[in-house]
């Protein structure tokens, strides 16, 4: 398994990282954000290919919203944030909420659509990673 995220965090000239952020939890959250964004984007696309697409319209919207929030959060977390963690906290909390919402929606369709089941699982992992990063921040 590659440790690219961890390697990139460690390669930053300010090797100490962002004060107040646990490097392991930060890396796990970045990874979960990007995996969730990919799963949400793919799930929305798969929903649009389903015969009963009208019944999945809400799922598509929530998938796309969640994908955007996860991508933005992963990008923000990939940058050195300095000592003011307010924006980090807000973004990670928004991501946690978006993932929880998306997971609930996708879980409603998981019995009939494998892509929704997989998306819900990715969102739950990201929700947990966000919660763990937030808890580590105090």
Q: pLDDT of 51-97, one tens digit each?
A: 999 999 999 999 999 999 999 999 999 887 666 789 999 999 999 99
Q: At 22, is the pLDDT very low, low, confident or very high (cuts 50, 70, 90)?
A: confident
Rounded Cα distance between 89 and 108, Å, is 29
123 closest CA partner among 5, 33, 42, 58:
33
pTM for the model: 0.90
Taking the CA atoms of 91, 31, 101 and 52 in sequence, report the sign of the dihedral they define: positive
Rounded Cα distance between 85 and 36, Å, is 23
Where is pLDDT greater, at 98 or 81?
98
With 0-12 / 13-18 / 19 or more C-beta atoms within 10 angstroms meaning exposed / middle / buried, residue 49 is exposed
97 closest CA partner among 71, 78, 123:
123
**DSSP character at residue 94:** H
Label residues 32-47 b or e (16+ Cβ within 10 Å = b). bbbbbbebbbbbbebb
Extract the tokens encoding 64: 């796309």
Domains defined for the chain, CATH in brackets: 22-136 (1.20.1270.360)
Question: Could you identify the residue written with the tokens 């892509």?
Answer: 115
């Amino acid at each position: 398994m590659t440790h690219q995220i961890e390697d990139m965090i460690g390669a930053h000239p300010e090797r100490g990282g962002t004060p107040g952020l646990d490097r392991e939890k930060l890396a796990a959250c970045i990874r979960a954000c990007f995996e969730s964004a990919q799963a949400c984007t793919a799930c929305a696309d798969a929903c649009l290919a389903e015969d009963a697409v009208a019944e999945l319209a809400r799922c598509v919207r929530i998938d796309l919203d969640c994908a955007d929030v996860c991508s933005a959060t992963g990008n923000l977390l990939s940058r050195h944030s300095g000592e003011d963690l307010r924006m980090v906290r807000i973004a990670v909390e928004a991501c946690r909420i978006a993932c929880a919402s998306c997971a609930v929606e996708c879980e409603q369709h998981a019995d009939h659509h494998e892509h929704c089941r997989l998306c819900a699982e990715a969102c739950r992992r990201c929700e947990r990673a966000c919660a763990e990063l937030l808890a580590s921040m105090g």
